[in-house]
Structure 1
Amino acid sequence: MKFLMTICAVSLAGTLAGCAGVSADVQASGGFPTAGTAGTPDAAVPASTYRFARTPAQADAGDNLPYEALLREGLAQRGFRQDASDATRYLVSAAWASRPADVTVATGDCKGGCIPAEGPSLPWFGHRYVHTLTLRFFMLPDGRETYKVSAEKRDRNADAQQALPYLVASALAKMPYAGAPQWRVKMKDVAPAGAQGGAQAVPEVTSVTPLAQ
């Protein structure tokens, strides 16, 4: 019994130690044309204007899309200004989703049956969830997609909104993520929304590292 309790104590200590920081994985493609070029994506992000493009379901939500305020602030810090006029430079679409980690999202036919994305989670630590945020930038007036970035965070919190600040911070951390297709973003953990009577703070990014292919 004492041996079993020791194992549990070590496992719990390792789990709590992992709570000190948070990480997310990012995939990106494309870039932003430099002013004066013929539309060739460049590593630099030029100051520009944008407006959000909403799906019909997002439009029905009115102003209750929690990620838009976070994105608006993050994009403003990178030189982007929201503009609803016809002269705006980009349309920006956002897709936000959460699912249990043991549910596979298939992009094609599942021949022989679809298998879980990862093994079953240990019940005493709670179920694992996958939270994702994908941003796509379409250049106007032709509507060509010029840049796409997706951030993914895995945790044991079923509340998808608690993951949003981490997803936004990681998606924008090294925009436009030139030089590698996949990255690991590490951030400092922050208090949950409402824990101190206010909205959840945007986490501080501590490192951005390309992942080996």
Structure 2
Amino acid sequence: MRLILLLAACVAAATGCAGPETAVRVRSVPGFGSGEHTYAFVDASSDATDHQDDERYASAVARRLAALGYVAAPMDAARYRVALSYDTHPAAVAIADARCAGDAPCGAPAPRRAAGFVWPGAKTYVHSLTLRFFDRAEGREVYAVSASERDREPHADHAIDYLVVGALARVPFEESAPNHGSATVAAERRSEWKVTFGKDETRGEPRVRGVAVLPD
């Protein structure tokens, strides 16, 4: 009994000050986020057998985009067409998905420092979200972002808002690294960062505590 209490105290000490974290990968073309901010969802779907989360993800993304000044519009009038996909799988399983931002599978890599304390041997899960913005006029992808969170919950109920807020924590994305010539300035930009959250929520949404750009 004393051993159990001691272990519980260790867990409390390890997690008492830590909030959730999301790992984010993004690629963007210059000019994204300028001009008209209208969008429409296309092909909102998951790779899981249970599609009941489609509406929850879409609603969470719509709320966040509205807070950032983006307005939903009819498909034939919206400047951006947004493709949404998500996935949950055991952490030991890697699922390759070409729709993810960057060259890694959805949800990989997990945050370089796992959030909180995980019991040795406990099964962990990776929840991931990918958003891809396509310019309607040009027909090309102009922004793609993937966010992932790792925990011990087999369902993403609690993770959806963290994934959405983490994925859209820096919109429009501006590369903070030094430029390496005019050719690079005009090229596609890529970055990876870790978004940390406070334990409390503000106005029903997770509170971003910090965004740390990770080294290449």
TM-score, scaled to structure 1: 0.71
> Conserved in 2, the CA contact under 8 Å of 1:74 and 1:172?
yes
Quote how far apart the aligned CAs of 1:188 are.
1.9
Aligned-partner Cα distance in 2 for 1:56–1:206 = 30
Q: Distance in 1 between matches of 2:11 and 2:21?
A: 19
Q: What CA distance in whole angstroms lies between the structure 1 residues aligned with 2:95 and 2:166?
A: 22
Question: How far apart, CA to CA, are the structure 1 residues paired with 2:164 and 2:172?
Answer: 13
Equivalent residue, structure 2, for 1:92: 82
Check if 1:153 corresponds to 2:156: no
For the pair 1:25 / 2:23, whether they are aligned, the reply is yes
In structure 2, what residue type is equivalent to 1:202? E
2:192 matched to which residue of 1?
A: 182
Report deviation, 1:70.
1.0
User: Aligned residue for 2:204?
Assistant: 201
Residues 17, 45 of structure 1: alpha-carbon distance in 2 compared, 3 angstrom cutoff: farther
Preserved contact between residue 165 and residue 201 of structure 1 (Cα < 8 Å): no
Instruction: Confirm or deny that 1:138 pairs with 2:128.
Output: no
Cα separation, 2, equivalents of 1:7 and 1:75: 44
Report the alpha carbon displacement of residue 13 of structure 1 after superposing the two structures with TM. Answer: 3.2
Instruction: Note the aligned Cα RMSD (angstroms).
Output: 3.4
Q: Quick one: structure 1 residues 6 and 71, their matched pair in 2 at CA, closer, same or farther if it must change by over 3 Å?
A: closer
Task: Provide the secondary structure at the position in 2 that maps to 1:69.
Answer: helix
Q: Distance between the aligned counterparts of 1:56 and 1:64, measured in 2? A: 6
Aligned residue identity for 1:23: E
Q: Provide the secondary structure at the position in 2 that maps to 1:169.
A: helix
Structure 1 position 202, deviation (Å): 1.6
Specify which of 41, 58, 81 is matched with residue 52 of structure 1.
41
SS in 2 for 1:160: coil
Aligned-residue offset at 1:184: 0.8
Residues 104-134 of structure 1: per-residue CA shift (max 9 Å, x gap): 23579xxxxxxxx89x9724xx321111100
| Cα drift, residue 56 of structure 1 | 7.3
Tell me the equivalent position of 2:65: 75
Deviation at 1:64, TM superposition (A): 5.3
Q: Which residues of structure 2 form unaligned runs of 5+?
A: 99-108, 111-117, 176-189
Where do 1:30-49 residues align within 5 Å? 30-31=28-29, 41-42=30-31, 44-49=33-38
SS of the residue 2:68 aligns to: coil
Question: 1:67 and 1:107 mapped to 2: Cα distance?
Answer: 18
Instruction: Indicate if the aligned counterparts of 1:43 and 1:176 stay in contact, CA closer than 8 A.
Output: yes
Residue in structure 1 matched with residue 213 of structure 2 by the alignment = 210
Q: Does 1:170 align with 2:159?
A: no
**What is the letter of the counterpart of residue 25 of structure 1?**
A
Identity, % of aligned positions: 33
The alpha-carbon distance between structure 1 residues 174 and 81, as it changes in their structure 2 partners (threshold 3 A), is: same
TM-score (norm 2): 0.70
Relative contact order, higher structure (CA 8 A, sep 6+): 2
* CA 1:57–1:212: 2 relative to 1, 3 Å: closer
Which structure has more helix as a fraction of its residues? Answer: 1
Q: How many residues are paired up?
A: 182
CA contact (8 A) 1:45 1:175 kept: no
Alignment-derived partner of residue 113 in structure 2 = none
- Report the CA distance shift for 1:66/1:145 in structure 2 as closer, same or farther (over 3 A): same
Report the Cα distance in structure 1 between the residues aligned to 2:55 and 2:86, rounded to whole angstroms.
10
Q: From the CA coordinates, give the structure whose radius of gyration is larger.
A: 1
